[in-house]
Amino acid sequence: GPGGMIGYLGAGRKNGSVFRAETQMAVEALQVNAGFVRAALKEHPAFRNLMCDYRDALEDWAAQALACRSYHRTEKRLARWLHFAQTCTLSNRFDLTHSDLGDLLGVSRTVITEAIRRLERLELISSSRSNIHILDRRGLRSAACKCRESHIRKNIILPSPGPDIELRIASM
């Protein structure tokens, strides 16, 4: 989906991934058999190159996120995260507690509560118990740190797989 994918690195290993993925929100996801992905990586160089580009973009994103945590205030990082989540889910509402958001951004619940209050005073979001509602997407983007935009320009827009790759749903 628009939020990306997980498990790609594990698909290339015989024993699978060493990581466990968990979402904080209800999302739709597709599961693809690892053997199918391994075969596609082996048989289709364009697909393999695309997945390598995705891996590189993900590594760059992780480095950017670490730097962002060191240099930007929680309010700006929260605005960036909410804007990104809205882009990925196409929803203006999120059922997340302040504690959930704190875990996502690596800060305490009280720090998140203060950041939420600042964004509410700017009328960019509203919140109630376990619910965040984006009121002003453009304003939220303006309030966000620019880490996401620099990452998008640099990496995340990957080429279409093209006609030489035929991906099919297969039961393996």
Chunked in runs of 10, what are the mean pLDDT values of the chain (172 residues)? 62 64 68 81 87 80 77 92 84 90 91 96 94 94 79 46 37 30
> Can you give the pLDDT at residue 160?
40
pLDDT value at residue 155: 45
Angle between helices 74-89 and 45-71 (to 10 degrees): 150
Bridge partners, residue 126, by sequence: 133
| pLDDT at residue 39, as a whole number | 86
Instruction: Give the pLDDT confidence score for residue 10 in this predicted structure.
Output: 61
**Nearest CA-CA partner of 152 in 67, 50, 56, 61:** 61
pLDDT of residue 32: 77
The whole-number pLDDT of residue 31 equals 76
What pLDDT is recorded for position 116? 96
Residues with Cβ within 8 Å of 119's Cβ and at least 6 positions away in sequence, in order, are 75, 78, 79, 125, 140, 143
pLDDT computed for residue 6 by the predictor: 67
Rounded Cα distance, 93 and 135, in Å: 9
